[in-house]
Structures are given as structure tokens and as C-alpha cells.
Amino acid sequence: MALPPQYVARLFDAQESGASEQQLRDIAAEGLGEIYFRDGGRRAHGLEIEFTDIEQLEFDL
């Protein structure tokens, strides 16, 4: 599943500015929630997504 470009840009910008691991997780969770659960605003309004107990997460460019 691909993150929307605006979230990818936010991740790169945050990483370059020294964001913490938690801040990066929050951005990724927000982006994944947007595409997977909220479907671009068409459903699950107000749903909050949080990464917890992550063992492995891979991102490809």
C-alpha cells in the first residue's frame, strides 16, 4: 500500500529536521490511516491510528 505523496514528503522533511522515531511513526500512522481506513475522507471520520508494539515495518522507495 502506498502512502499519499504528502505524507511521504512530511516523513522526509521530518527525518531531515531530526524528528524522533515516535514523530515519524505518527506521520506514517496518519498516512496509512488516511488511505486504508478513512479512504480519503469517505469513511471512518475521526478515526485515530496509532502504531504500537511494532516488530517490523518496511518502506520501499
Section 37-48 average pLDDT = 71
Look at the block and give the residue holding cell 531530526: 18
Measure the CA–CA gap between 56 and 61, rounded to whole angstroms. 17
Is residue 50 domain-resident?
no
Would you say residue 34 lies in a domain?
A: yes
Instruction: Let me know if residue 37 belongs to a domain.
Output: yes
53 is a domain residue = no
More reliable by pLDDT, 59 or 22: 22
- What was the pLDDT predicted at 50? 74
Within-domain flag for 46: no
So what's the pLDDT on residue 60?
Answer: 66
Q: How many domains does the chain have?
A: 1
What does the pLDDT look like over 10-28, one tens digit per residue? 999 999 999 998 898 889 8
